């Protein structure tokens, strides 16, 4: 697939040498000579693209703690989820296309206001409004993930009913379930329970909207890293607004 490039700035001559514009004959020799900026090519990537530029994107996302999959040069679903996480953390609209705004964001250190400013150095924050999960280590983001939380509706299944709500509050991880577990409401991977039957867990379905029965779904590759760094007793702070 051909990767398109968006042009920024003006044109160049030779090997990146800026073209100097001509000076009018009557101009004062002390007037500044306008110089057009060199052309900068920014790759525009979309889901399904492949190649070295996608590898560069994946490496940037991994460096920013958004991506935990393979560096394979394929703009697959896991890469898209990481792009969403970056967009959410920088207050951008979530979309699959990666343009100049994303490349600039990859070059900037994330500065986001924590949910719990005076919280412990190591903690998990779940931001329901933004559908975003952040794991802190030493007060610094170590993992930033797109999530899908409770769908905020009533559900009934085989005579059992409940509300698809992710509870808000201060919790701690109180139970771990490695690998796949299957219950009446579906399958979960690498589950970290923090209140009752509500857990943070990997899922093959993490849409760009709240869609779970109350759990906090994270992408599969991210769930492996999440399970590796978060343990029993870890503080979990869930907020709707802050």
Supply the residues annotated as catalytic: 201, 215
Both structure tokens of 139: 């007060």
Quick one: tokens of 73?
């040069």
List C-alpha distances in Å: 119 to 124, 136, 194.
Answer: 10, 10, 17
CA distance 142 to 229: 9
Give CA–CA dist 56/59, Å, rounded: 5
Place of tokens 């610094």: 140
Cβ atoms of 75 and 54 closer than 8 Å: yes
Place of tokens 């500044």: 32
Pick from 159, 133, 101, 107: nearest CA to 216: 133
Q: How far is CA 211 from the centre of its chain?
A: 18
């Amino acid at each position: 697939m051909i990767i398109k490039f968006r042009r920024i700035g003006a044109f160049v001559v030779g090997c990146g040498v800026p073209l100097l514009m001509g000076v009018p004959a009557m101009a004062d020799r002390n007037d500044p000579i306008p110089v057009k900026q060199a052309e900068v090519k920014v790759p525009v990537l979309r889901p399904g693209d492949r190649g070295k530029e996608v590898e560069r994107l994946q490496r940037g996302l991994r460096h920013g703690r958004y991506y935990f999959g393979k560096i394979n040069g394929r703009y697959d679903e896991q890469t898209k989820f990481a792009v969403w996480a970056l967009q959410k953390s920088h207050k951008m609209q979530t979309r699959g296309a990666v343009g100049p705004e994303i490349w600039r964001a990859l070059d900037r250190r994330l500065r986001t206001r924590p949910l719990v400013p005076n919280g412990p150095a190591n903690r998990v924050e779940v931001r329901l409004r933004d559908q975003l999960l952040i794991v802190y280590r030493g007060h610094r983001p170590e993992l930033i993930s797109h999530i899908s939380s409770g769908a905020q509706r009533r559900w009934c299944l085989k005579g059992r009913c409940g509300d698809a709500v992710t509870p808000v509050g201060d919790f701690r991880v109180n139970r771990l379930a490695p690998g796949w577990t299957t219950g009446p409401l579906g399958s979960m991977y690498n589950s970290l329970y923090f209140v009752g039957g509500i857990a943070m867990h990997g899922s093959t379905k993490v849409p760009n909207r709240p869609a779970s029965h109350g759990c906090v779904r994270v992408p599969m590759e991210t769930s492996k890293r999440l399970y590796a760094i978060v343990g029993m007793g870890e503080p979990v702070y869930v907020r709707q607004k802050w």
